[in-house]
Structure 1
């Protein structure tokens, strides 16, 4: 499933986090949401400059609109490899509709060959930029539901009209299935994108075999979404003008879920077998991995209650179960998110990630399932394994060891266990390892650094080479003050991180209306050590209008360890509200916060938190805007809902306590609920049911819906959305008293 996420784009989080006020020379000029919002017309011109970088084997390459250049990492000098015009010429692309439009997405699939892989929408084209010739063109099927090309064998797997196909290295298509349909889904993500799943095609290392998901969801109830025709849509002759039913399969907590099996196709024999994993009813299969010799498949198997996880191996030729290699249980839940990875220099050993000691760490096992040792440890979490350095026999990974709100790149020696920090130890870093595992492209941000890049050479003493630092796009303009700190959680001991954005032209002798932006749910956080402490553009927009913004990551959010994340188990929203109220207590201690003008806004889980706060603390929160809110967890999907709440049958008290339907009568302030009409994640039933409860209780929320939109508003509609959110606070939170004062403004 698509996890519940805060309403924020990755670009908005890392790249655009502030807005500037006018300088004296631009006296009255005000920046708008077109400048700030990721759907805005000016957004891409106002974010910190980024560089598109990739690896050609061990050589860093810069991808630009009209050229690709080789970079000398020691001094940053760039040498042109080829231009856009040259690629089109060498590929023989003369017709306008066939030409490559840019080189931002060019790939270099072979470390030892000068081959550029480019796409024009209907072909994959392999161009040799040394001989200036096209070596291969491969048709790119249109309207596929899934697709994965294997670099080693050059075979392609794809799903078209529900059926699974494989195009072999000779270009011949092989249809693997005939029963694919809306009910029988092949080669796509299953279990609603939980457990780290984001696809359903898994090539073996050399591309000789393909593992794939088959999901039978015929037994899952339909949820009746409705498609509203576009304004300019004209029906064909005899076709109705009416809106059309667009049902989705949606397994709600405690109800019947789908059944998943795993198939394996062998390119050499043309045969397909299925793993003999037993009855798939109420089980989850995830994190599929291959042995280096392509003979064995590994996957984690989780029970419906999600408190029992097993790593099991299977014969890739027969599908027979071979062995259970690892078993983990937890009194609350266990959640495998990463497939095992074999050591490149030792095919008999693999690494496994688990938080069985309370924090996600890396463990070394032999192929029989015996734990050799724990490679990382401490009260911090491994965030990602980036790859391996064969020469040093080390693992390169990202972690929060430097600080809970940082992401830094480290290397651990498998033999000695020695850990080495590879980057500068500050900020938030996304590094990309080259094919040899001996160098990194490091893209990062810090609270005072918009965006920067370094090349890092990995050896016993890593060397860092500065490449580029983006200039501050708002230099010379007035910006709010962004600050960061910690307070104690409601338990009195746990540190919680917060971010504050003070109004432009802040005056500590004045009192300001304050808006708390909240998410608060699993697998996400709002506060990190990126530019302006991860502040969203909308926060700065509000600061320009005279608001103080406050954001707190409560218990239950991610990257803080198992106890922190599991504190909310079976009672979502309850501990989170207590922690958020500690934030309110902190705000009330500040002389410049107007205690009578506190609002709250959040999306998705944050929408649930928003309505929870304004109804549980009606004398604290005057105004709230809740987007895509969960209202009652019994209407949310099986995998996510039952992990954190168990089922409505086994946890009736928890479901009753967390439901917002009985809280409709407690609404006192102004509440606006906003949803996408076609939301497949938090289905519209949530919002509609709360409105019905408010009608029965005689309370008066406001409501707005975006026809045709899913869980988050897309494109320019996001600008409209944030304008609406802003105006709601302007109308009901900002005025001190009478409408006449508003008129005077």
Structure 2
């Protein structure tokens, strides 16, 4: 009888599996366009200064009261098209208040009154504009053309903030290659009267040659690229006065090429706060500048560290105060919040978590509590907390395990909480922050339920020093523990990245479980020391010695895999991109015989060829740390190649420039070592769009053919 039941179970399993659809690599790579990622509420956000939220349902905006869940207003595409006949579909909302919503159509910012169904404001700007930033209080758009900065208003589409002919001097764009938390180059003042902006002088920065092959003949395309140990840019901060149309500059001498970041306005618009970091990146001065004179008023505080200092967050001012603010710092080992005054007084350390605070959402109406985001006790998760500003007591508002992305209403009464975890594709709740109650407003179906897809599991391994190493293992849909499976280790391993998160698919790309099932593979990923959200000691342990501890931890994962009865220990491949490309080549060449096959994309091969801001933070300069640079240099190990290795690089990669891969190929030829190389013409640091299908198929085909 038992044999009959077992037979029936096996038949049922095989029948069920065979009836499911096959998920191809192409469909997996194009998953967002194929409807294979969980659904969400489009345009979901708070209506400013209300307790209402808005989302898009087909061709209609739906306004809903958070307290009752009742629909209070609708506005459809037909209403919009009466005011904007050229509008073909519902627009993406930039912001919305109690009477109007703001969106962009091509080169125009539109403000539409959804109560009267009439246009309120139209601000047009140049067709070629980039780095656009609209400010509702200024009723103006900041934007860049080439190296200069402009402002557009309803009456003037092109008001010049800078008129600099020297192309080496660039205004209104992100500086320092977007390190130190920098994501943009313009900063509207709180009341909209001023526009602060970054400016960089790249005169001393070397040109790096890239080639545009789409012209006839091909053309040289130089970019500015400051490599480790070489001259860098000199930064400035400008202030544009919208009333008198004059531009002035803060009195900061950056001839020593030190860094400027975390630009913050005081609420009264009288001062600008700036974090200044020495070129060695181990000393921060947080300085206060007078907007009227441009002169430095005082240094509020300093931070130093033997390894590095890396401020990444702006000051967050407390409600109804021009002088009290919260500051992010890792000085106690984890990113926490500190209460300071603009006189430089440390009032107190507000949070004392042994986990990472990642952001501030806002405050409640009375200014008694601040709402923050952070990992909580499990670094693989993201949660929202309410913290009392007086005593630091806190409550976690997001109760479900997983990765939560939240938005706070203006008065702090409610949260929009969209979250997922390994078992939950995407749910959205409205959370009452006072009563700590939640109401479900969206539940996504599993978009993969009709497909043969494998399982994703988390595990925690122990490093040689006892550190927990979070890992993820993906098994094929028809997994059979009595069989032997080849393994693909997917690796990144560098700072500011975390591969394993308690979110849908566990942080993996959809092509990974697709590949696992298509080719009957195990896919394994481990977050080694140096990766994000584990605190300063965990991340900074790699200082001056990139590759050493990371490899040690990755090999812990290899040993674990080899201990599994269902793993074919003779068939292990490794794949990664960027820092992951550095890790892939390093693992393959510094540990011959462990891996049969490696595919490295956009790999860092020699850290002296990488950009100065990132490279010198983690490695110091080549002159200061010649041993570290030499040990990490991948070309030193090419003679050790035992197996097959494919290097892939975008031909116009401006991040990890092609010189990296070229240097490895050159040394391979010198050492009479055969390796494979493929370039994606006119692609930058990653291969995007339809060509990404070609990339993933090429990488996986290479692995399947050679991991034998």
Cα distance, 1:168 vs structure 2: 4.6
List alignment gaps of at least 5 residues for structure 2: 1-12
1:151-162 to 2 correspondences below 5 Å:
151-162=136-147
1:33 and 2:22 aligned: no
Q: Which residue matches 2:360?
A: 385
Instruction: Quote the offset at 1:104 in angstroms.
Output: 4.7
Could you say which residue in structure 2 is the equivalent of 1:3?
none
Query: How far off its partner does 1:49 sit?
Result: 1.0
The residue correspondences of 1:601-620 to structure 2 (distance < 5 A) are 601-620=575-594
Is 1:528 the counterpart of 2:501? The answer is: yes
Q: Does 1:56 align with 2:47?
A: yes
TM-score norm. by structure 2 comes to 0.95
Query: Residue in 1 aligned with 2:66?
Result: 73
Deviates more, 1:426-435 or 1:132-141: 132-141
- In the alignment, structure 1 segments of 5+ residues that lack a partner are 1-20, 230-234, 236-240, 736-745
Cα distance, 1:730–1:616 mapped onto 2, change above 3 Å: same
How far apart are 1:146 and its partner, in Å? 2.1
Write the distance in 1 (CA, Å) between the matches of 2:234 and 2:352.
Answer: 37
Asked if 1 retains the 8 angstrom alpha-carbon contact of 2:124 and 2:153, the reply is: no
Give the number of equivalent residue pairs.
692
Deviation at 1:180, TM superposition (A): 4.5
Query: Which digits, 9 at most, give the CA deviation of each residue in 1:565-607, with x for residues without a partner?
Result: 0010001011000000011111111111111001100000000
1:477-516 equivalence runs, <5 A = 477-491=451-465, 493-516=466-489
Counterparts of 1:433-512 in structure 2, within 5 Å, are 433-459=408-434, 461-491=435-465, 493-512=466-485
1:293-330 CA-to-partner distances (Å, cap 9, x unmatched) read 00000010000000000100000011010000010000
> In 1, distance between residues paired with 2:133 and 2:498?
31
Q: Is the 8 A contact 2:193 2:243 kept in 1?
A: yes
- TM-aligned CA distance change 1:454 to 1:656, over 3 Å: same
The aligned counterpart of 2:671 is: 697
Q: Partner of 2:7 in structure 1?
A: none
Displacement of 1:116 in angstroms is 2.0
Asked if the contact 1:64/1:104 (under 8 Å) is kept, the reply is no
Q: Hey, what does 2:190 align to over in structure 1?
A: 205
Checking the alignment, whether the CA contact within 8 Å between 2:25 and 2:515 is kept in structure 1 is no
Structure 1 counterpart of 2:252: 277
Partner of 1:300: 275
Q: In the alignment, which residue of structure 2 is the partner of 1:743?
A: none
Residues 253-652 of structure 1: pairs in structure 2 closer than 5 A = 253-391=228-366, 393-459=368-434, 461-491=435-465, 493-544=466-517, 545-652=519-626
Query: For the structure 1 residues 597 and 26, does the alpha-carbon distance in structure 2 shift closer, same or farther, using more than 3 Å as the test?
Result: closer
The answer for the alignment partner of 1:686 in structure 2 is: 660
Q: How much has 1:78 moved relative to structure 2? A: 4.2
Q: Match for residue 176 of structure 2?
A: 191
Task: State the shift of 1:56 in Å.
Answer: 1.3
Residues of 2 paired with 1:394 and 1:76: CA distance?
25
Please say which of residues 122-131 and 286-295 is displaced more in the overlay: 122-131
CA contact (8 A) 1:168 1:267 kept: no
Cα distance in 2 for residues equivalent to 1:467 and 1:662: 56
Maintained 8 Å contact 1:411/1:420 = yes
2:172 and 2:186 in contact (8 A); partners too:
yes
Q: Are residues 66 and 134 of structure 1, via their aligned partners in 2, closer, same or farther at CA, if it must alter by over 3 Å? A: same
User: Would the alpha carbon gap of residues 213 and 108 (structure 1) be closer, same or farther in structure 2, given more than 3 Å must change?
Assistant: closer
- TM-score when normalising by structure 1: 0.90
Mark the CA change 1:217 to 1:107 in structure 2 (over 3 Å): closer, same or farther.
closer
Q: Mean Cα displacement is larger for which, 121-130 or 524-533?
A: 121-130
User: Whole-Å Cα distance in 2 between the matches of residues 201 and 586 of structure 1?
Assistant: 49
What displacement does 1:375 show?
A: 1.1
CA contact (8 A) 1:22 1:477 kept: no
1:476: Cα distance to partner?
4.7
Instruction: Please report how far the alpha carbon of residue 209 of structure 1 lies from its aligned counterpart in structure 2 after TM superposition.
Output: 0.9
Measure the CA separation in 1 of the matches of 2:646 and 2:25: 20
Does the 8 Å contact 2:123/2:154 carry over to 1? no
Contact 2:22 2:452 in 1 (8 A): no
> Which of 45, 68, 73 is the matching residue for 2:35?
45
Taking structure 1 as reference, are residues 29 and 154 closer, same or farther at Cα in structure 2, changes over 3 Å only?
Answer: closer
Question: Contact conserved, 2:460 with 2:468, CA < 8 A, in 1?
Answer: yes
Change (3 A) 1:529 1:172: closer
Contact 1:106 1:117 in 2 (8 A): yes
Q: Distance in 1 between matches of 2:166 and 2:397?
A: 48
Query: Residue 252 of structure 1 contacts residue 638 of structure 1 at CA under 8 Å; is this kept in 2?
Result: yes
SS in structure 2 of the partner of residue 224 of structure 1: strand
What is the DSSP-based 3-state SS (H/G/I as helix, E as strand, rest coil) of the residue aligned with 2:323?
A: strand
Paired residue secondary structure (1:225): strand
- 1:32 Cα shift? 1.1
Deviates more, 1:589-598 or 1:174-183: 174-183
| Partner Cα distance (2:528, 2:148) in 1 | 44
Does residue 75 of structure 2 align to residue 82 of structure 1?
yes
Query: What displacement does 1:504 show?
Result: 2.2
Task: Give the SS at the match of 2:35.
Answer: helix
Q: What secondary structure is seen at the aligned counterpart in 1 of 2:298?
A: strand
Please give the alpha-carbon distance, in whole angstroms, between the structure 2 residues aligned to 1:395 and 1:23: 54
Residues 266 and 323 of structure 2 are in contact (CA less than 8 Å); yes or no, is this contact kept in structure 1?
no
Q: Say whether the 8 Å CA contact 1:433–1:440 is kept in structure 2.
A: yes
List per-residue Cα deviations over 1:662-688 (Å, max 9, x = no partner).
111011110011110010000000001
**TM-align CA RMSD:** 1.8
Change (3 A) 1:279 1:72: closer
Inter-partner Cα distance in structure 2 for 1:72 and 1:637: 49
Residue 248 (1) aligns with residue 231 (2): no
Corresponding residue for residue 721 of structure 1 = 695
Contact 1:22 / 1:28 at 8 angstroms: preserved in 2? no
Identify which range, 265-274 or 721-730, moves more after superposition: 265-274
Q: Does 1:136 align with 2:121?
A: yes
Higher relative contact order (CA 8 A, sep 6+): 1
Query: How far has the Cα of 1:121 moved from its partner?
Result: 1.0
Contact 1:667–1:699, Cα closer than 8 Å, also in 2:
yes
Greater displacement, 271-280 / 374-383: 271-280
- Candidates 102, 117, 137, aligned match of 2:89: 102
